[in-house]
Structure 1
Amino acid sequence: MAAPSVAGDVGLESVFPQELGLFADAFPVETRYRLCGHELSITQHHGARLGVAAPVWEAALALCDYFEAQKLNFWGKKVIELGAGTGIVGILAALLGGDVTITDLPVALKQIEENVHRNLPVECVARTRVCALSWGLNHKEFPNNFDFILGADIVYLKDTYPLLIRTLQYLCGPQTTIYLSSKMRQEHSAMIFFENLLPRHFTSTLAFRDENENINIYKVTSKSNI
Structure 2
Amino acid sequence: MTTIRRLEESSADAKNDGSTDSSIIILENTYEFCGYNLRISRFINANLGYSAYVWEAGIFLCRYFEKESINFIGKKVIELGSGTGIVGILTTLLGGDVTLTDKPNILKQIENNVSINVPPPCRHRVKTRPLIWGEEQTNFPTGYDFILGSDIVYSSAAYPALIETLRYLGRQGATIYLSSEIRNKSRSPSFHDDFLPQYFNCQIVDREDDKDIILYKMTKIDKSPRDRLLTENN
The answer to whether the superposition gives a TM-score over 0.5 is yes
Partner secondary structure for residue 210 of structure 2: coil
Cα displacement (A) at 1:174: 3.8
Deviation track 1:3-59 (CA, whole Å, cap 9, x = no partner) reads xx22218xxxxxxxxxxxxx9x73210000001110000100123610101111000
Partner of 1:119: 117
Partner secondary structure for residue 169 of structure 1: helix
Q: TM-score, normalised by structure 2?
A: 0.85
Percent sequence identity over aligned pairs: 46
1:178–1:220: 8 Å Cα contact kept in structure 2?
yes
Detail structure 1 runs of 4+ shifted over 2 Å in the superposition: none
Partner of 1:84: 82
Partner of 1:185: 183
CA separation of 1:112/1:48 partners in 2, compared to 1, >3 Å: closer, same or farther? closer
From 61, 64, 68, the equivalent of 1:63 is: 61
1:6 aligns with 2:2: yes
From 92, 102, 106, the equivalent of 1:108 is: 106
Equivalents in 1 of 2:149, 2:78: separation in Å? Answer: 9
- One-letter identity of the residue aligned with 1:51: G
Equivalents in 1 of 2:122, 2:31: separation in Å? Answer: 19
2:26–2:41: 8 Å Cα contact kept in structure 1?
yes
1:174–1:224: 8 Å Cα contact kept in structure 2?
no
Partner of 2:73: 75
Partner of 1:170: 168
From 142, 145, 154, the equivalent of 2:143 is: 145
Partner of 1:14: none
Cα displacement (A) at 1:197: 0.5
Cα displacement (A) at 1:173: 3.1
Cα displacement (A) at 1:144: 0.3
Equivalents in 2 of 1:67, 1:102: separation in Å? Answer: 17
What are structure 2's unaligned runs of at least 5 residues? 6-20, 224-234
Partner of 2:15: none
Partner secondary structure for residue 153 of structure 2: coil
Q: TM-score, normalised by structure 1?
A: 0.88
Partner secondary structure for residue 211 of structure 2: coil
From 150, 156, 159, the equivalent of 1:158 is: 156
Equivalents in 2 of 1:173, 1:66: separation in Å? Answer: 25
What are structure 1's unaligned runs of at least 5 residues? 10-22
Partner secondary structure for residue 71 of structure 1: coil
Deviation track 1:57-77 (CA, whole Å, cap 9, x = no partner) reads 000000000001111120000
Partner secondary structure for residue 224 of structure 1: coil
